[in-house]
């Protein structure tokens, strides 16, 4: 059994992570998503306006590709494995226009070293990792072992006006270009 961890910093100012309390054996795993309940959970302090589960069913075909103006999100990759690309688009942030990539989910996969992808899978760390996104953090996931099942909470109810969608090929970032060359199996998200 892996114990729940405290909030951990990432390379981006508005993005945090933590390991969940995870129990794993040959039958599968159980992960406590809100250890101690929402009243004591620093990751849920903004409240829950929406909860959703989603499936990315095709390897190499991205999902997401947006940021939120006001909503805070929590995300757990529960099945499969995916690259999660994050980019700070908050002009007031010290990490504005910087990006980070994490491999999240169940299994590790071979990754090109030159991309500097951080492996935070259940297989590698012994726990499911929770990501906490502030507004203005662009996020995109690319399934590597599909299907990828992820669970999210948002601080506000769904509102299309809160979504700022940017096709991944419109983002000028060498890291994302490298990821596209290695992992993306569609030519455009437009």
Q: What is the pLDDT of residue 110?
A: 92
Q: Give the pLDDT score at 188.
A: 55
Average pLDDT (144-156) is 96
Q: Where are the alpha helices (DSSP H) in the chain?
A: 122-125, 174-183
- Rounded to 5 degrees, φ, ψ at 127 are -155, 160
In the predicted structure, residue 103 carries a pLDDT above the cut 60: yes
What's the CA angle centered on 178, arms 73 and 145, to 5 degrees? 60
- pLDDT at residue 139, as a whole number: 98
Give the Cβ contact number of residue 51 at 10 Å.
10
Q: Indicate the pTM of the whole model.
A: 0.92
Q: What is the mean pLDDT of residues 40-65?
A: 88
Three-state DSSP class for residue 58 = coil
Closest CA to 66 of 156, 139, 13, 14: 139
- The tokens describing 87, both together, are 């980019």
Average pLDDT over residues 117-122: 92
Q: Which tens digit of pLDDT belongs to each residue from 13-34?
A: 999 998 888 888 999 999 888 7
pLDDT, average across residues 130-157:
96
């Amino acid at each position: 059994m892996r114990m729940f961890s405290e909030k951990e910093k990432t390379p981006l100012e508005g993005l945090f992570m933590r390991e969940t309390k995870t129990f794993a054996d040959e039958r599968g795993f159980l992960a406590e998503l809100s250890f101690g309940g929402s009243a004591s959970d620093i990751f849920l302090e903004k409240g829950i306006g929406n909860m959703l589960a989603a499936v990315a069913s095709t390897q190499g075909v991205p999902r997401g590709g947006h940021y939120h103006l006001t909503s805070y999100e929590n995300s757990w990759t529960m099945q499969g494995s995916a690259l999660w690309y994050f980019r700070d688009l908050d002009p007031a942030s010290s990490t504005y226009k910087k990006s980070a990539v994490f491999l999240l989910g169940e299994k590790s996969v071979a990754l090109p070293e030159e991309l500097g992808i951080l492996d935070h899978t259940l297989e590698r760390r012994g726990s499911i990792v929770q990501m906490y996104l502030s507004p203005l953090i662009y996020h995109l996931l690319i399934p590597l072992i599909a299907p990828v099942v992820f669970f999210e909470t948002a601080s506000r109810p769904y509102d299309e006006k809160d979504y700022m969608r940017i096709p991944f090929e419109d983002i000028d970032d060498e890291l994302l270009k490298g990821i596209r060359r290695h992992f993306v199996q569609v030519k455009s998200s437009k």
